Amino acid sequence: MSHERYIKLIDEMIVGDVPTAQWNELHRHLAGCTSCRARYDRVSLAERMLHGGPGALSTPSSSTLKRLEGAVLGATAARDPAWQRALQWFAPTQRWAVGVAAAAAVVVLIPFLGRSPTPQRGDEFQTRGATVHERTAGLRAFCIGDDGVTPRCARSTQLRLTVSNAGRFQRVFVVGFDDDFNPKWYAPRPPEAQSVAAPDGVDQQVGAAVKLGINHDPGKVRIYALFSDAPVTTQEVESAADKLREQGKKPSQIESLPLLRTDVIQKSLVLDVE
């Protein structure tokens, strides 16, 4: 990472979150760069003031504590055991029923899924310059009406998204953008701002079911699933979307977001909302 990039990353502390992987790299750089530390100190004070006003100048801001938390837990926490993740799947709001319904719908959905550009191999649709991943993952969408899964996604239907995580990624971020760049935050949902724990297995629902009549206008929506081990943040996703917009590109035509990191594997599909 270039020196200017570190300076930009320091300034990003005011604008939004600095992802754990980038913070770790910045932290190492700061240890040996006096001028960067001076800037970090100034930006940190400004950030503190932004998180509580002049009275908060003496203590680390909540976002600083969160940033350090990511670094500490990333280095020390064990992953929840499989049985516990399974329990988490079954416990709240009977999500298992949705999973069963979604799994049963796969056969019905084959024609519909055939139209989606969901990549089939793990090394497709990488950001330019990205490393090649051997770990695989997938994304599927199901539109469910009164009579179950439907091949067309009317605004009266519910959208359910599932992921397959053969690559055992720890985290997934699922977001959609229509061609006007209106975001649809499927998982995580605001105010959460980091990718959620990625479920293991095949066609596991991620995020809650969404009524397409809400926040989805008729037209195409590109849905991206970003699989990674280190968390992806809303800030990163928004920056990538901003970049696409600046380039005059439409999400429906772009299969992967231009993220500034290479440890993320992306899967996407287009939903045609009617």
Partner 1 sequence: MSLLIERRELLDRFKRGERRALEEVYRHYAPDVAAFLQRGFTFASAGRQLHFRGYDQPFDLDNALQETFLRAFKESARIAYDGLHPYKSYLWAIARNLVLDEFRNREVAMSPFIEGLDAGGGAEPAQREGEEAAPSAAVGDAPSAGVSAEQEFLRNELGRLYASFVARLDDRDRTFFRHRFEEQQTQVEAGTACGLSHMQARTLEKKLRRAFLEFMQTNGYLEAYAAAATAAKAT
The DSSP bridge partners found for residue 265 are: 227
Rounded to whole angstroms, how far apart are CA atoms 235 and 205? 24
For residues 114 and 145, the answer to whether their CB atoms sit within 8 Å is no
For residues 47 and 61, the answer to whether their CB atoms sit within 8 Å is yes
CB of 109 to partner 1, least distance (A): 30
Choose which of 21, 22, 35, 267 interacts with partner 1 (CB under 8 A). Answer: 35
DSSP code at position 225: E
**Which single residue is written with the structure tokens 């024609």?**
111
Is the Cβ of residue 58 or residue 120 nearer to partner 1 in the bound state?
58
Asked whether position 32 contacts partner 1 by CB under 8 A, the answer is no
Choose which of 9, 21, 22, 40 interacts with partner 1 (CB under 8 A). Answer: 40
Asked whether position 39 contacts partner 1 by CB under 8 A, the answer is yes
* Residue 37: burial class (beta carbons within 10 Å; 0-12, 13-18, 19+): middle
Rounded to whole angstroms, how far apart are CA atoms 57 and 43? 12
For residues 19 and 231, the answer to whether their CB atoms sit within 8 Å is yes
| Contact map string, positions 66 to 95, toward partner 1, x by CB under 8 A | --xx-xxx-xxxxxx---------------
- Asked whether the CA dihedral 48, 51, 56, 58 is positive or negative, the reply is negative
Is the Cβ of residue 147 or residue 246 nearer to partner 1 in the bound state?
246
Asked whether position 217 contacts partner 1 by CB under 8 A, the answer is no
Rounded to whole angstroms, how far apart are CA atoms 31 and 39? 13
Asked whether position 108 contacts partner 1 by CB under 8 A, the answer is no
Choose which of 5, 51, 95, 135 interacts with partner 1 (CB under 8 A). Answer: 51
Asked whether position 132 contacts partner 1 by CB under 8 A, the answer is no
Asked whether position 50 contacts partner 1 by CB under 8 A, the answer is yes
The three-state secondary structure class of 67 is helix
Choose which of 1, 18, 19, 37 interacts with partner 1 (CB under 8 A). Answer: 37
Is the Cβ of residue 144 or residue 172 nearer to partner 1 in the bound state?
172
Crossing angle (nearest 10°) for helices 34-50 and 62-76: 120
For residues 255 and 127, the answer to whether their CB atoms sit within 8 Å is no
CB of 249 to partner 1, least distance (A): 20
Is the Cβ of residue 81 or residue 114 nearer to partner 1 in the bound state?
81
Choose which of 62, 131, 156, 253 interacts with partner 1 (CB under 8 A). Answer: 62
> Which residue ranges make up the site for partner 1 (CB under 8 A)?
3, 7, 11, 14-16, 27, 30-31, 33-46, 48-54, 57-60, 62, 64-65, 68-69, 71-73, 75-80, 183, 190-191, 215, 238
